[in-house]
């Protein structure tokens, strides 16, 4: 008995899904190895599976302190009741890519070799979208888009100082951010709390340990880049735990490579070697990986401690393919490859920093 149109459609449904799960691991690897930063997320163990939960990420943040009291015979001592903890949390965010088919295309591509090519073309387009858009999301600002679309990105981890008078402003493309001293895009805790701020340096700043702003520099980055890197690295590290991943705009990276050309030490960390194997260009600055990204369009240098960055994901909704859905009153069918993650999070903003040059 010959196959019916319904049975052939079901067979093609299965072929698409089976093919996707044959290549799914390769696609996830492609996404994580597409950029030096996503590679760092994997290699530093920042990706964590979290199955379910009301929130995509939570952490108890200890910020309160107690103090001792001196006393002598007959002294009255005070009871100090301080709020010591609060909860940081991020909501789940979702993104997907559609895989489209139609009765006409299905019919034209019946046959062993045509079907294989047909499936490959459709899934390749979906894979390319996941790679390119996934990178873009990570370099955007979670609060820029109305919830619940945009996941938390790098500019939520290291919020810059924003000052129109210095030529530093938020971007209209989603690359802007909360200022370092206000907003709640990191963990829904307000940055008006000084203990919840990352370190910041920018042209024209006034030195202030309270606000964590260093400066002024007031010079183009190429003139004073290495001392600026040293100062920011030491300030964030505080002789305790320095940044281990420094990322910047390409122009600044090239200026550093040129300035330090005769002084560069040919030191390769395990991560640098892995990055080099995949074709990424990196240098080493005081033991930290130093690299650039085309997605950083401002004159920014991001100082990150990857030990204090986490990106949770739902293991059951992570590059998973849904059932095929009929389009009402039409002959088109669609399935979606879906992902569920809150994006990037940190419960230690003081371990990260950002320096921004006006010129």
What pLDDT tens digit does each residue of the chain (359 aa) get?
Answer: 456 767 767 777 788 888 888 888 888 888 888 889 999 999 999 999 999 889 999 998 876 666 777 878 888 878 776 665 788 999 999 989 988 877 766 666 666 667 778 778 888 888 888 888 888 888 877 664 444 578 888 988 888 876 544 444 444 344 456 777 777 888 988 888 888 889 888 765 544 444 444 443 444 565 678 888 888 899 899 889 999 999 999 999 998 888 777 665 555 677 887 887 777 888 889 889 999 998 888 888 999 999 999 999 999 999 999 888 887 777 788 889 999 999 999 999 999 998 887 66
> How many Å apart are CA 64 and CA 33, to the nearest integer?
40
Give the CA dihedral 137, 293, 354, 231, nearest 10 degrees: 160
Read out DSSP for 128-178? HHHHHHHHHHHTS-TTTSPTTSSPB-HHHHSPPP-BGGGTB---TTTT---
Residue ranges of the domains in the chain?
154-310+346-356
The neighbouring-strand residues paired with 325 are 334
CATH topology of domain 154-310+346-356: capsid protein of prophage fold (3.30.1930)
Measured CA to CA in angstroms, residue 102 lies from 21, 24, 185 at distances of 21, 23, 41
Q: Do the Cβ atoms of 315 and 279 come closer than 8 Å?
A: no
Taking only the tens place, the pLDDT of each residue in 191-244 is: 888 888 898 887 655 444 444 444 434 445 656 788 888 888 998 998 899 999
């Amino acid at each position: 008995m010959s196959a019916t149109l319904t049975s052939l459609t079901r067979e093609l449904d299965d072929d698409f899904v089976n093919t996707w799960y044959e290549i799914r691991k390769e696609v996830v690897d492609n996404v994580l190895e597409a950029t030096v930063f996503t590679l760092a997320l994997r290699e530093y163990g920042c990706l964590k599976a979290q199955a379910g939960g009301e929130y995509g990420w939570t952490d108890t943040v200890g910020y309160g302190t107690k103090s001792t009291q001196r006393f002598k015979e007959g002294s009255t001592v005070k009871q100090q009741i301080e709020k010591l903890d609060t909860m940081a949390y991020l909501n789940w965010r979702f993104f997907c890519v559609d895989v489209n088919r139609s009765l006409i295309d299905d019919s034209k591509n019946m046959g062993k070799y045509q079907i294989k090519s047909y499936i490959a073309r459709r899934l390749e387009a979906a894979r390319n979208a996941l790679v390119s858009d996934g990178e873009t999301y990570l370099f955007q600002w979670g609060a820029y888009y109305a919830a619940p679309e945009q996941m938390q990105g790098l500019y939520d981890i290291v919020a810059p100082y924003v000052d129109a008078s210095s030529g530093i402003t938020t971007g209209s493309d989603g690359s802007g951010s909360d200022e370092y001293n206000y907003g709640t895009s990191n963990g829904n805790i307000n940055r008006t709390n000084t203990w919840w701020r990352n370190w910041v340096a920018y042209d024209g700043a006034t030195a202030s340990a309270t606000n964590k702003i260093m400066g002024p520099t007031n010079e183009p980055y190429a003139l004073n880049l290495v001392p600026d890197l040293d100062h920011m690295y030491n300030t964030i590290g505080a002789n305790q735990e320095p940044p281990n991943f420094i990322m910047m705009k390409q122009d600044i990276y090239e200026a550093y490579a040129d300035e330090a050309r005769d002084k560069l030490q040919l030191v390769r960390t395990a991560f640098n070697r892995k990055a080099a194997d995949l074709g990424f260009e990196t240098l080493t600055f005081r033991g930290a990986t130093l690299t650039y990204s085309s997605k950083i369009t401002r004159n920014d240098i991001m100082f990150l401690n990857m030990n204090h960055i986490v990106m949770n994901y739902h293991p059951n909704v992570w590059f998973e393919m849904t059932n095929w859905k009929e389009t009402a009153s039409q002959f088109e069918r669609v399935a979606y490859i879906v992902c569920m993650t809150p994006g990037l999070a940190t419960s230690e903003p003081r371990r990260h920093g950002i320096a921004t040059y006006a010129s």
